[in-house]
Each structure stands twice: as C-alpha cells, then as structure tokens.
Amino acid sequence: MYQLILRGTRLGDEVLDIGVQDGTIARISAGIEEGAGREIEAQGRLVSPPFIESHVHLDTTLTAGEPRWNESGTLFEGIRIWSERKKRLTREDVIARATQLLRWQAAQGVLHVRTHADVTDPEFTGLKALLEVKEKVRGWADVQIVAFPQEGMLSFPKGVELMEEALKLGADVVGGIPHYEHTRELGVESVKESFRLAEKHDRPIDIHCDETDDPESRFLEVMAAEAIRTGMGERVTASHTTAFGSYDNAYAFKLMGFLVKSGINFVANPLINITLQGRYDTYPKRRGITRVKELWQNGLNVSLGYDDIMDPWYPLGTGGMLQPAHMAVHACHMTSRKEVTACFDMVTENAARTLGLKAYGVAEGNPANLVLVDAPDRWDAIRRLAATTLVTKDGEVISETSPAQTRLMGEIVDFRRGEE
Ligand code: FE2
C-alpha cells in the first residue's frame, strides 16, 4: 500500500505510475500493482518536478497602480513610482502581498522561489517581512531571499553595512547592482565587495548585472573574473545581463570564453527585459535581452524568471512559469524543437541548479514534489501555456485545477494536432 499513486503519467517517452510513501517517491514503474490511500489518474499528462521562480521581487509585487500606473513604461518612471509607494511600506503590507503571490505560484506548481529584497532601507521593512513569510510558507514553498541593494551598495549611505546586517538577519544570498553605482569604478568595487561578503558569510551570489542597453556596461566580465579567482562559479548567478545583447560581437565572443571558464549561472527575465529595455531606441528597437541562446549553446546554465509581477515595472503576470518560458521562445529565437523544450528546462531543472537545490527531480528517493501538466510533453506545455492540473508537496496534494474545456458545435476541441 502506498500513500499516493499517480497512474499513467508521462515521463520522457514512457507512461509510468509513481508510487509515493512517507512523502517520498518510492517507486516509478509501469503498472504498479499495489493500491494506495489515494490514486489519481494522470491520463498521460506530463509529470514534472516543481516549477522554479529564480528571480522575483516579492516586496514590490501586486502594487501596480499604487499610487499610479506607469504611463511611460520605463524603468525610471517605475523607480519614481516605487519611491512614492515605498513610503507607506509596512510589515503587514509586504506579508499580505508576498503570501498572495506565493499562493498563486504554488497553485501553478511553483514550489521554489528566489526573491530579492531591497536592503537599502535602514529599517529593513521588506527584508524582515519576507523573512517572516519564508517561515510561514515553509510547509509548502521554499523561499530564498537575496539581500539586494536596490539603490547601490557603495553609492548609498552605509550600503555595505546594510548588506552585512541583512546577511546577519538571515538573507540567504548576496546581491548587487554594479551598473547603478555612481561610477564604473564603484561598480567594479561593488562586485568585488559582493564576493568578499559571500566568502565571509559562506553564501551564494546573485547580482543584478548590466540591466541596461548600454553596450559599455561591462560588469559581467568582473563577475566572471571574480568567480574564476575564487572558484565560486557554480554558486554565482548573473541576473539580467541585458547589455550582453548590445555588446559588439568581437567583445561578446571573447567574453563568452571567459564565462565558460567561470561556470557561473545566468537568469534572464524575458517578459520584463523585452518590456523595459529598448525604450530609448527609435527603430530598429533592441530586444534588450541577454544572449540566452548562445549561453545555452555554450553549455552555460541559464534559467528564466519573471522579475516583476503586477508592480510599477510590469503590470501583468500570474506567476505561472510557462509565461516567461513562452516569451523566451520568441524573444530569444528559441523555436527549434530542442530549443522550445530547453525553455521548459530553464524554469525547472536549470533553475534548480541556479538555486543550488538538492534532491530535485522525478526520481525514486526524492521528495514527492510533483506537478502534472495538461500536455503530453514539455514542448506542447509551452505551446498551449498548459494548465498545471495537480501539485503535490511531500506527497500531499496541495492544488488541483480543472483545465478549461471547449465545445465547438457540440464537439470537444482540445487544440491538439490530429484530434478526432
Ligand atoms: Fe530584478
């Protein structure tokens, strides 16, 4: 007897049953004969490990329109609106919004989330609230918090001390924002400071790096150099790196070699990058996104995040991770059969590497954290932005969704090629 059996799940090219016992994946095989406390018919749906949000700001989420909507759509109007909204930030406000978003995400199978928390605030209102949220949701969502110096580490009064204090309070990851420091020199120094803090406190690094269309913004090379020097590569993540999309090819090709040597991780945020970048161009307008396809082709680990969900920088979003994956297919020209599937991996397996997760994946012995997606494979999941129909956390079903059903002139249409 198992605690739970998912029957007829699609795993790779096979249709298999998954038996769960004591919250763990006990067996994966065709036709498990024993019974279970609960049995669920997957009907050939794709089974996947949980989706992962590798870059979001839970302290700003769900504030779009407060106190006003971003009319120009630019990063800078977003910053002005946020500085107004920030004045009435409270613990309760952050806890309520962050929890709501995490609930939306868990309902769609997102059980691991890396959030940035603005620590250029001597009160640490956002960080302290997110630390509380992290504890509160621990039973169903795993949250990592990055100490993020939104207004600069060396250009903001006592920025380094604030970072240090944030890590002592419990932030999991060291952030940075070198392209927003007042000078190139301060930016370079800030990257080195992030590495110093990470080594001192034994934490991973995730830096907002070169989030601009400025082809002269070259802090990624500093990150690579520091990662090579310290040997920290696999614990280091460069988020955004949108300027890489604007670098001259001669420089970009040289840089790619150093990046491969460094072994660092990348997070692109296709929905927000394509929305916020290119705003100062007339035509042709740049896509303003890092070289996702080329990084992936060179064997570097790339994952995808939202960045913003209904806040001053981006008014849309539900938290479902197939949306950024779908946008990556378009904005990064990832349209071949293999490339579309790779975009699914960028919101699951690759993101697990970025977050340093252990025991992740649909394999015997791992925690029974599973999602069923209403599609036969990863490719089709992205094509139809398919619903997540079932989510289990440690073997308990925590979310169920009935996919929409359409009838045309009395007959069901399921949008699959060759349907009857
Ligand atoms: Fe961000």
CA of 182 to the centre of ligand 1 (A): 19
Residue 14 sits in a domain of what CATH number?
A: 2.30.40.10
CA of 27 to the centre of ligand 1 (A): 39
CA of 267 to the centre of ligand 1 (A): 10
Q: Are residues 267 and 367 in the same domain?
A: no
CA of 272 to the centre of ligand 1 (A): 9
Give the C-alpha separation, 191 to 240, whole Å.
Answer: 15
Q: Is the dihedral of CA 314, 210, 303, 327 positive or negative?
A: positive
Q: Are residues 382 and 238 in the same domain?
A: no
Secondary structure (3-state) at 198: helix
Which of 117, 172, 170, 113 minimizes the C-alpha distance to 140? 113
Give the C-alpha separation, 83 to 66, whole Å.
Answer: 11
CA of 40 to the centre of ligand 1 (A): 38
Give the C-alpha separation, 182 to 251, whole Å.
Answer: 24
The distance from CA 102 to its chain's CA centroid, rounded to whole angstroms, is 13
90: buried, middle or exposed (CB in 10 Å: 19+, 13-18, 0-12)?
exposed
Q: Are residues 399 and 349 in the same domain?
A: no
Domain-ending residue, one of 330, 355, 380: 355
Residue 98 sits in a domain of what CATH number?
A: 3.20.20.140
* Total tally of structural domains belonging to the chain: 2
The answer to whether residue 419 sits within a structural domain is: no
Domain-ending residue, one of 355, 376, 396: 355
The answer to whether residue 132 sits within a structural domain is: yes
Q: Are residues 77 and 37 in the same domain?
A: no
CA of 374 to the centre of ligand 1 (A): 30
Q: Are residues 33 and 117 in the same domain?
A: no
Phi then psi for residue 208, to 5 deg, are -70, 110
Q: Compute CA distances 232 → 198, 265, 291, 316, 361, whole Å.
A: 9, 11, 22, 35, 24
Give the C-alpha separation, 108 to 104, whole Å.
Answer: 7
Tokens, residue 285:
């307008």
The answer to whether residue 420 sits within a structural domain is: no
Active site (catalytic) residues: 211
Tens of pLDDT along the chain (420 residues) come to 899 999 999 999 999 999 999 999 999 999 999 999 999 999 999 999 999 999 999 999 999 999 999 999 998 899 899 989 999 999 999 999 999 999 999 999 999 999 999 999 999 999 999 999 999 999 999 999 999 999 999 999 999 999 999 999 999 999 999 999 999 999 999 999 999 999 999 999 999 999 999 999 999 999 999 999 999 999 999 999 999 999 999 999 999 999 999 999 999 999 999 999 999 999 999 999 999 999 999 999 999 999 999 999 999 999 999 999 999 999 999 999 999 999 999 999 999 999 999 999 999 999 999 999 999 999 999 999 999 999 999 999 999 999 999 999 999 998 887 765
Q: Are residues 255 and 316 in the same domain?
A: yes
Which of 45, 131, 132 minimizes the C-alpha distance to 391? 45
pLDDT at 359: 96
The answer to whether residue 33 sits within a structural domain is: yes
Q: Are residues 35 and 63 in the same domain?
A: no
CA of 307 to the centre of ligand 1 (A): 5
Q: Are residues 221 and 367 in the same domain?
A: no
CA of 201 to the centre of ligand 1 (A): 23
The answer to whether residue 418 sits within a structural domain is: no
Range of the domain at 14: 2-49+362-413
Give the C-alpha separation, 404 to 414, whole Å.
Answer: 9
The answer to whether residue 278 sits within a structural domain is: yes
Q: Are residues 217 and 245 in the same domain?
A: yes
The answer to whether residue 205 sits within a structural domain is: yes
To the question of pTM greater than 0.85 for the whole model, the response is: yes
